[in-house]
């Protein structure tokens, strides 16, 4: 079975541009999570969805960040406008009760905002 | 709220040395416990898990036992290899709650 798929793997953009990160969770998983990882702050949960519904977005840093999950097999994280401090690795993960809620991570998207 | 504490890193060992990375937790009820590993440039990978007290999770030579009396889930390996160099995260999940990760412990294994 394919794991969590993220695209793009690397993104370099200029400050002020819109950035869209994409995630395809593991088939059959009903929870999806977006994380951000930096050296300074470590791993931070941004938002998570259960059955395509956002449950907790308290980790979303500000209104520039938004996330959607239009169906069970696709989610996006959008940053508009992007800023240099958004530079980080963004991970998507999915889980289900059948995994004892263990989360399975994608390879991440390394975002650099110049 | 629930929390996970891990030993400070980095941990540096010689190849074939014994590894212990300490992990303790604070949580209500009976959480499930996990260890994840992150190799350079990659995402976190589930290494092992335990869902109830006294369970032992094991994978790739790594082991951890769920000790409810000491609220611990220490990671051990009898003989580390250079390829084990990575960051290790302890984590817990309580039903109906968010997943909680520890800060991670960086392991470097020298040949």
Contact A42 B49 (CB under 8 A): no
Residue B29: its pLDDT value, please? 85
- Of the candidates A53, A83, A42, the one whose C-alpha atom is nearest the C-alpha of residue A65 is A83
User: What pLDDT band is residue A55 in, cutting at 50, 70 and 90?
Assistant: very high
Chain B residue numbers touching A103 (CB-CB < 8 A): 44, 46, 99
Nearest to B43 among A48, A91, A95 (CB): A91
Residues of chain B scoring pLDDT < 70: none
User: What pLDDT band is residue A1 in, cutting at 50, 70 and 90?
Assistant: low
User: What pLDDT band is residue A61 in, cutting at 50, 70 and 90?
Assistant: confident
Tally C-beta pairs within 8 A across A and B: 43
User: What pLDDT band is residue A80 in, cutting at 50, 70 and 90?
Assistant: very high
Contact A101 B103 (CB under 8 A): no
């Amino acid at each position: 079975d394919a794991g969590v798929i993220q695209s793009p793997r690397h993104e370099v953009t200029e400050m002020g541009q819109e950035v869209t990160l994409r995630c395809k969770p593991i088939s059959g998983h009903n929870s999806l999570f977006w994380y951000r990882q930096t050296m300074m702050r470590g791993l931070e949960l941004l938002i998570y969805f259960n059955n395509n519904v956002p449950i907790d977005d308290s980790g979303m840093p500000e209104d520039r960040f938004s996330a959607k999950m239009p169906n069970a097999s696709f989610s996006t994280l959008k940053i508009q406008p992007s800023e240099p401090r958004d530079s980080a690795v963004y991970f998507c993960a999915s889980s289900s009760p059948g995994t004892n809620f263990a989360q399975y991570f994608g390879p991440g998207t390394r975002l650099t905002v110049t | 709220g629930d929390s996970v504490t891990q030993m400070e890193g980095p941990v540096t060992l010689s190849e074939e040395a014994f590894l212990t990375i300490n992990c303790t937790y604070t949580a209500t009820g009976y959480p499930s416990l996990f260890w994840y590993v992150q190799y350079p440039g990659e995402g976190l990978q589930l290494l092992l898990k335990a869902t109830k007290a006294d369970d032992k999770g094991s994978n790739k030579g790594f082991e951890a036992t769920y000790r409810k009396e000491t609220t611990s889930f220490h990671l051990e390996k009898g003989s580390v290899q250079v390829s084990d160099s990575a960051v290790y995260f302890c984590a817990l999940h309580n039903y109906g709650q968010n997943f909680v990760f520890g800060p991670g412990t960086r392991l470097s294994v020298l040949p």
